[in-house]
Amino acid sequence: MKLRAAILAAMLLVTTTHAVGPAGKPSHKAAEHCDWEKFSDAALGLEAWVQRCDYGTSKSEFIADGTYLSQRYTDGTPLEHEVDVIDLRPGETPEAGIKRFFTENSDKAVVPHCVLAPLPKGYGEIKTRPGVKRYHFVAEAAYGKKMRARNEPGDIPDPLCGEWGDDADSLSYFEAQPASGARKVLFVNLGQDEPQFDYQTLRLLPVPSP
């Protein structure tokens, strides 16, 4: 599809180099009118490099907003939730926690037809990153074929697994960092355009010692 091809090509601009952790430096240059700054919030349990931007009539910054890393604008634009930080339950593996979250927050008619799968190599031109596991929910073959048959030629299909699943029109995924010591996973929403946070530097903070 032409639109998805355009999205993937745009994402290539974001991922031209491998990133180091947020304590190092961002993985690519900041956008025009923007500067990188390090975001770190112990309550949210997340660090990353993010951009603070000044467009003259509007400015933007990233803030911790409940369970989200969100982008806030001074012109009244609603907060944009970019990364959702999801708590794991005691004894729950990252994969089990992701499945639970998906089941609890998705259309019950969709859940039985969607499966958790590793994000395939080359998905959206997203570079792999040591110590990170990425996943998405995709439709089972028979269900996907049935639903896609309902689309008119040239249509952009609705996400077969809902807002938390794979989308032909946008890029998003779940991320686990098993070695981090954190009892959390992430849902990362990259959208259609180059995000103003560096997803290659997202770092879950370990659980503080008592």
- Asked whether residue 122 is domain-assigned, the answer is yes
SS3 188: strand
For residue range 34-57, what is the model confidence (pLDDT) as tens digits? 999 999 999 999 999 999 999 999
Following CA atoms 169, 8, 21, 165 in sequence, which dihedral angle do they give, to the nearest 10 degrees? Answer: 30
- Asked whether residue 210 is domain-assigned, the answer is no
- Asked whether residue 208 is domain-assigned, the answer is no
pLDDT at 5 over 80: no
Radius of gyration, CA atoms only, the chain:
18
DSSP 8-state class, residue 110 = T
Please state which of the ranges 17-31, 62-76, 158-172, 173-187 shows the lowest mean pLDDT: 17-31
Residue 21 is predicted with a pLDDT of: 52
Total of domains in the chain: 1
Residue 35 is predicted with a pLDDT of: 98
pLDDT at 13 over 50: no
- Asked whether residue 209 is domain-assigned, the answer is no
Closest CA to 135 of 114, 117, 122, 121: 117
Whole-angstrom distance, CA of residue 72 vs CA of residue 196: 11
- Asked whether residue 140 is domain-assigned, the answer is yes
Residue 128 is predicted with a pLDDT of: 84
- Asked whether residue 87 is domain-assigned, the answer is yes
Domain containing 19: what range? Answer: 2-203
The encoded tokens of residue 2 equal 């032409």
Q: Are strands 34-41 and 171-176 parallel, antiparallel or unpaired?
A: unpaired
Residue 126 is predicted with a pLDDT of: 86
The encoded tokens of residue 202 equal 């997202």
For residue range 82-141, what is the model confidence (pLDDT) as tens digits? 999 999 999 999 999 999 999 999 999 999 999 999 999 888 888 888 999 999 999 998
List all residues 6 or more positions away from 2 whose beta carbon is below 8 Å from its beta carbon.
none
Whole-angstrom distance, CA of residue 31 vs CA of residue 198: 11
Residue 9 is predicted with a pLDDT of: 39
The encoded tokens of residue 197 equal 């946070």
pLDDT at 144 over 70: yes
Residue 79 is predicted with a pLDDT of: 94
On average, the pLDDT of the chain sits at 86
